[in-house]
Structure 1
Amino acid sequence: MRRNWAARLRLGTIDGLRAATLENERLRVTVLPGKGGDVVEFLHKPTDTDFVWLSPQGLRDPREHLQGAADDVAQFVDHYEGGWQEIFPSGGAPSEYRGARLAQHGEVSGLPWECEVLADSPEEVAVRLSVRTRRLPYRIEKVFRLREGTAALEVEARVTNEADLRLHAMWGQHIVYGLPFLRPGARIRLPEGVTVIPHESAINPPTRRVHPGGPWEWPVVPAAGGGEIDLSVVPERGAPSDIVYMTGFTEGWYEISGDIGLRVEWDATVLPYLWMWQELGASTGYPWWGRAYTIGLEPFSSMPTDGLASAVANGTALVLEPHETKVLKFGAEVIA
């Protein structure tokens, strides 16, 4: 029975793409089974705060590429509406793995997913999304769950190797933040003991810098464009674009907050890295044209952003034995 109170679920379309909205008294979350299972809304209703960054180019249907040739970067970038994406089985730049050419950020973020309703009651709503990759023999399932009265989204994801062979993968959660939630001076908090690896050090012999003790006493690390970055504070518009990697998580979590905040938790035994990238208006060419003000805090299985072949070479790629299933539990909760 349809409800406009307690936990409730709506299935429909947005710009021609299948959508599912999970909602309760405090939170409204919209995901797109029609496009990668992307999260395109994470709205805290009491404060009218949406934690999802939306790209200036808006939502675009990736099926339009079927009508013409698409290069390995355009498949993701030209249809990137912001939001939060599932990244699998490769992360970052295009890569080749055992004869399979994998595009920017892999396959699943541009594929249509199946959607099944698992729960629809005043106490909780839940949907299960599923998809098979086309170039590698994997199946992914992802359950989104929202309970009555909470401001927390629960997610359980599974990836299964359907081959009789041992295979590799990169698995990540492409979570980005932007205006109006993200503002200069907002704070980022991590567990103690986290190791920070600048991008160049992830490619060359690593120079690691350890987050010492207090939650705000982060190291200052070199920026790719020159200068340095204090990782705990969101910079002003125009700061250099950059990416760093973090590992050493005994517990997988971070908090990002200004007037209101969000805490993201995940199983760090499955995703032991956190990618942090920032695009704050300094890039004036394709694809940003100076219009982006966003920071990504992305739990990942591997590093760097050079694709699956590099992760296999450096030993950070996820390994799935024949017919093995790996399970990842994670969640996001508003800190009011």
Structure 2
Amino acid sequence: MRRNWAARLRPITLYGMRAIELENELLRVTVLCDKGGDVVEFLYKPTDTDFVWLSPQGLRDPREHLRGAADDVGQFIDHYEGGWQEIFPNGGAPSVYRGARLAQHGEVSGLPWECEVSADTPERVSVRLSVRTRRMPYRVERTFTLVSGSAALEIEGRVTNESGVELHAMWGHHLVYGRPFLKAGHRIRVPDGVVVVPHHSAIEPGGRRVAEGGPWEWPSVPAHGGGTTDLSIVQEPGSPSDVMYLTGFSEGWYEISGDIGMRVEWDASVLPYLWLWQEFGASAGYPWWGRAYVLGLEPFSSMPTDGLASAVANGTALTLGPHETKVSSMRAEVLV
């Protein structure tokens, strides 16, 4: 039912693609049905603060990829508008799994999803998106729920192995933050006992923020080149690019805040890692060209960002038995 008050839904078309807005008195959340079920807006209305980073290249329809030089990396990067993506069944770099060639962060982040309304009342709105992967026999569902008067978006994810054989996967939420919300000096909080595992090598030739080695206790860790660095403090523009993995969560949550903030909670029994990706303008080549100021805080089932084959080899890949379904919930709430 159409209404312009309390909790409400509005189907829209965004750059030629199907999308749906979930809105209440405090939030407006826009979900892109035709591209990965991406969250491309998470707007806190009282302060006009959008927590979703938008890439300088803007929103591009992945159905137009044949007009560019698409490859296993470009398929994701060339159509990456920022936003928040569901990542499944491959995380990070292209990988080959049992004969299936999986692209960067593939497959579901680039596919169109089916969308149906599951609740539409002034008290509560909910939409369920679903998609089947094309190179592996999986079905993935995402249900977004917004309650009247609440500054929190609730997401339930379900992944189902539709085959009769045991399979592996990487499952994650590619949540990134940027301007105008993100500023140097913002603080990141996680539960006590979390440890940091640096990526095995620098992701850019100009160096990195954290020294190789570990694991180390959060937040003060050895810095690349000597000394220490406090990972709980967001760095200035131009700081070195890096990727690291946080684990040891007794509870799955983090907070990032300055004048306003965000708290994300998730099921750490299914997604025991939090990927921390820092790209603050130090990368002068493809694909950022020095234009990105973005921080990723991404709950994941596995590590590292080298693709599914690496996660299988190190024992962190998610395992789904024949016809098994795994469920994971997440909640993103504005802090004021």
Moved more, 193-202 or 294-303: 193-202
Q: TM-score, normalised by structure 2?
A: 0.95
Residue 219 (1) aligns with residue 214 (2):
no
Aligned to 1:258: 258
Measured in 1, the distance between the counterparts of 2:76 and 2:222 equals 29
Measured in 2, the distance between the counterparts of 1:196 and 1:313 equals 20
Aligned to 2:94: 94
Measured in 2, the distance between the counterparts of 1:285 and 1:227 equals 28
Aligned to 1:150: 150
- Note the C-alpha offset of 1:227: 7.0
Aligned to 2:209: none
The aligned length equals 327
The CA RMSD measured in Å over matched residues stands at: 1.6
Alpha carbons 1:161, 1:325 under 8 Å: kept: yes
Residues 44-193 of structure 1 mapped to structure 2, 5 A cutoff:
44-66=44-66, 70-193=70-193
- Note the C-alpha offset of 1:297: 0.2
Aligned to 2:217: 210
Closer/same/farther in 2, CA of residues 256 and 238 from structure 1, 3 Å limit? same
- Percent identical: 75
Structure 1 gap ranges (5+): 212-217
Measured in 2, the distance between the counterparts of 1:226 and 1:64 equals 46
- Note the C-alpha offset of 1:192: 0.2
Structure 2 gap ranges (5+): 203-211
Q: CA deviation digits over 1:162-214, x for unaligned, max 9?
A: 00000000000000000010000000000000011111289xx9631123xxx
Closer/same/farther in 2, CA of residues 56 and 68 from structure 1, 3 Å limit? closer
3-state SS of 1:76 partner = helix
- Note the C-alpha offset of 1:226: 7.8
Amino acid at match of 1:237: P
Aligned to 1:281: 281
Alpha carbons 1:95, 1:308 under 8 Å: kept: yes
- Note the C-alpha offset of 1:67: 5.5
Q: CA deviation digits over 1:91-143, x for unaligned, max 9?
A: 00000000000000010000000000011110011100000000000000110
Q: CA deviation digits over 1:301-330, x for unaligned, max 9?
A: 000000000000000000000000000011
- Note the C-alpha offset of 1:220: 2.4
Aligned to 1:329: 329
* Runs of 4+ deviating beyond 4 Å: 66-69, 225-228
Amino acid at match of 1:37: G
Aligned to 1:238: 238
Closer/same/farther in 2, CA of residues 25 and 57 from structure 1, 3 Å limit? same
Amino acid at match of 2:295: I
Alpha carbons 1:198, 1:221 under 8 Å: kept: no
Alpha carbons 2:29, 2:41 under 8 Å: kept: yes
Amino acid at match of 2:14: I
Measured in 1, the distance between the counterparts of 2:17 and 2:322 equals 34
Aligned to 1:215: none
Closer/same/farther in 2, CA of residues 250 and 201 from structure 1, 3 Å limit? farther
Measured in 2, the distance between the counterparts of 1:135 and 1:86 equals 17
3-state SS of 1:46 partner = helix
Closer/same/farther in 2, CA of residues 119 and 221 from structure 1, 3 Å limit? farther
- Note the C-alpha offset of 1:70: 2.3
3-state SS of 2:109 partner = helix
Alpha carbons 1:201, 1:207 under 8 Å: kept: no
Aligned to 1:31: 31
